[in-house]
Amino acid sequence: MALLPDITAFYDDGDEAGRLTSGRTVGTVELVRTQEILRAHLPPPPAAVLDVGGGPGVHARLLADSGYRVLVIDPVERHVRQARAQGLPAEVGDARSLDLADRSFDAVLLLGPLYHLPNAADRARAWLEAHRVVGPGGPVAAAALNRYAKLLDLHSTAALEIAATGLRVRRDGPTTYY
């Protein structure tokens, strides 16, 4: 499955790790809040966590530092190299077609793929793949952007409330929304 060329171009020109860790308010709040939610739902270390679309490994590094066994899968080769440079296991891959065994992870993160896949069928495929590789009762945590986010000035504090990143955590039962 082909990655949209504009996604590759966007990440090749940007600094995804810096966006989350540079101390800028939006990125820092996103990082801290996401980690807080993940820690509330992930099984305890040394659980195996698959970070699909994990980019340069910012979330994976924090989890690995806490004792989790983490694998980063990302379609952008630059991100895979950056994750590996941090000592993380990382592979080029596609959220819609994971080359991994069924039930091979204790938890799965989808913190980017769903809002980079504009086609609903592709998003559904990524969601199904995440559930295929997670073990019974294991959480799948997915982030999404409000559909109106691109229309807003994200430097505005009001815009942040309207276009906030939503994190969903789902196990075999109902989904928890944040």
pTM, two decimal places: 0.77
**46-78: b (≥16 Cβ within 10 Å) or e:** ebbbbbbbbbbbbbbbbbbeeebebbbbbbbeb
**In the predicted model, is pLDDT for residue 7 greater than 90?**
no
pLDDT digits (tens, 9 = 90+) for 83-117: 999 999 999 999 999 999 999 999 999 998 887 78
What domains lie within the chain, and their CATH numbers?
Answer: 5-170 (3.40.50.150)
Q: Return the structure tokens found at 65.
A: 């530092």
Average pLDDT, the chain: 80
Note the pLDDT of residue 30.
74
The share of the chain scoring above pLDDT 70, in percent, equals 65
Higher per-residue confidence, 92 vs 151:
92
